[in-house]
């Protein structure tokens, strides 16, 4: 069992920036990919960004983003530390919600899009609030 710990959430005005961090408690676990999800009140959890591990054959470092955050959010990683980051710029009120990171053992490209498949480890979440 590993633990993922998120940090960096907070309150910010629209147009501002935040950087979220997520680090694993064990370094002997090597997820195929890591991702950030967001859940707003009354809505389902949605995947907003994903990144493949750097040494994945053919797709090392590949990223994907939800349309709602493309061009504003950037996911990055430190494979040695099993850590993933989310730089969020030009924040909007609709970006508010609880942000969770996830680590998937198995990842694949399906219909041209990277995905984590099967079970995953999840963090406890960090709250982001963007005011108008």
What pLDDT score was predicted for residue 60? 86
Q: What's the CA gap between 119 and 102, in Å, rounded?
A: 10
In the chain, % of residues over pLDDT 90: 73
CA of residue 25 relative to chain centroid, distance:
17
What pLDDT score was predicted for residue 21? 98
What pLDDT band is residue 73 in, cutting at 50, 70 and 90? very high
Q: What is the pLDDT averaged over residues 39-50?
A: 95
Query: DSSP secondary structure string, 18-33?
Result: EEEEEEES-SS---SE
3-state secondary structure of 95: helix
What pLDDT score was predicted for residue 59? 80
What pLDDT band is residue 40 in, cutting at 50, 70 and 90? very high
What pLDDT score was predicted for residue 98? 98
> What's the CA angle centered on 21, arms 20 and 26, to 5 degrees?
160
Closest CA to 32 of 89, 112, 116, 88: 116
- Of 63 and 30, the structure prediction assigns the larger pLDDT to 63
Contacts 24+ apart (CB under 8 A), 28-31: 29/2, 29/82, 29/103, 29/121, 30/82, 31/82, 31/103, 31/104, 31/105, 31/107, 31/121
What pLDDT score was predicted for residue 77? 96
pLDDT tens-digit readout, 13-36: 999 999 999 998 876 778 999 999
What pLDDT score was predicted for residue 118? 83
- Of 108 and 91, the structure prediction assigns the larger pLDDT to 91
């Amino acid at each position: 069992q590993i633990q993922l710990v998120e940090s960096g959430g907070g309150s910010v005005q629209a147009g501002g920036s935040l950087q979220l961090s997520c680090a694993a408690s064990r370094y002997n676990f090597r997820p195929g990919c890591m991702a950030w999800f967001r859940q707003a009140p009354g809505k389902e959890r949605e995947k907003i960004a994903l990144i493949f591990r750097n040494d994945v054959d053919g797709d090392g470092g590949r990223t994907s983003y939800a349309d709602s955050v493309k061009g504003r959010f950037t996911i990055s990683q430190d494979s040695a530390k099993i850590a993933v980051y989310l730089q969020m710029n030009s924040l909007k009120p609709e970006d508010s919600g609880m942000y969770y990171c996830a680590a998937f053992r198995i990842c694949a490209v399906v219909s041209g899009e990277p995905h984590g498949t099967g079970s995953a480890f999840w963090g406890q979440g960090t709250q982001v609030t963007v005011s108008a």
